[in-house]
């Protein structure tokens, strides 16, 4: 896989910070709990899980969202596989990925799988998970995708720093690739993001965010 690797620095010893976007990959307080609050609770998961449930994501990052979803799927007792598709333009190098995930309980079974996927074809298959990381600019790769998701994790870097992943045209593609009654969630409560999601067809609600973030956004496809 010849996709350019994300260049990072480290904060507090183990929190990766993007040099390109000058933004951390996850909360400085507790990245896994942030993921669970924003993306699982924000999409009413695991309560909505059902056979062949499909999650899609903008911004794979460290894979922490994938791990949180996979752990929730296992704990919910669902039969079959959780489907997970993520769009990522700048994947992490394997060593950086391992360091970023080292401190998270429950992540260990997935670290090698994710590292191999990022170095290869982006695919992860286990008895309970079927995942695909699609490399490249999501503004190109998402319109070409033939899938539809039951829930979206919108996890680009902050809109002011990474506006490409929050463009109205791309969020309209998110809506077009959402199953009827599907949902989306993001840590961002920016007015432009909420307006673009509403214009795309989501009924948008601002709810309490995680930690020091007062608000976040969830949406249901109308």
pLDDT one digit per residue (tens) for the chain, 222 residues: 566 676 677 666 667 776 666 566 665 456 688 899 999 999 999 999 999 999 999 999 889 999 999 999 999 999 899 999 999 988 888 888 888 888 787 888 999 999 999 989 999 999 999 999 999 999 999 999 999 999 999 988 778 788 888 999 999 999 999 999 999 999 999 999 999 999 999 999 999 888 777 899 999 998
CA–CA gap between residue 204 and residue 198 (Å, rounded): 6
- At residue 90, the pLDDT reads 87
CA distances 125 to 30, 138, 160, Å, are 27, 22, 35
* Amino acid 156: pLDDT: 80
Cβ-in-10-Å burial (0-12, 13-18, 19+) of 77 comes to exposed
Q: Got the DSSP string for 147-199?
A: --EEEEEE-PSPTTT-GGGG-HHHHHHHHHTEEEEEEEEES---HHHHHHHHH
* CA–CA gap between residue 145 and residue 85 (Å, rounded): 10
Q: Return d(Cα 125, Cα 132) in angstroms, integer.
A: 9
């Amino acid at each position: 896989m010849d996709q350019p690797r994300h260049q990072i620095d480290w904060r507090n010893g183990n929190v990766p910070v993007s040099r390109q976007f000058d933004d951390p990959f996850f909360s400085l307080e507790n990245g896994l709990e942030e993921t669970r609050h924003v993306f699982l609770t924000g999409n009413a998961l695991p309560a909505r899980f059902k056979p062949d449930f499909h999650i899609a994501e903008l911004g794979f990052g460290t894979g922490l969202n994938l791990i949180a979803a996979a752990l929730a799927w296992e704990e919910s007792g669902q039969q079959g596989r959780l489907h997970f598709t993520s769009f990522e333009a700048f994947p992490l190098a394997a060593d950086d990925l391992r360091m970023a995930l080292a401190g998270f309980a429950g992540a260990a079974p997935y670290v090698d799988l994710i590292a191999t996927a990022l170095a290869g074809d982006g695919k992860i298959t286990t008895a309970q998970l079927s995942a695909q990381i699609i490399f490249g600019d999501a503004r190109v790769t998402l319109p070409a995708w033939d899938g539809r998701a039951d829930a979206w994790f919108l996890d680009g870097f902050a809109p002011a720093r990474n506006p490409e992943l929050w463009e109205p045209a791309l969020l309209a593609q998110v809506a077009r690739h959402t199953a009827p009654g599907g949902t989306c969630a993001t840590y961002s409560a920016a007015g432009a993001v909420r307006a673009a999601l509403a214009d795309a067809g989501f009924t948008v609600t601002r709810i309490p965010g995680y930690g020091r973030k007062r608000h976040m956004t969830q949406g249901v496809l109308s």
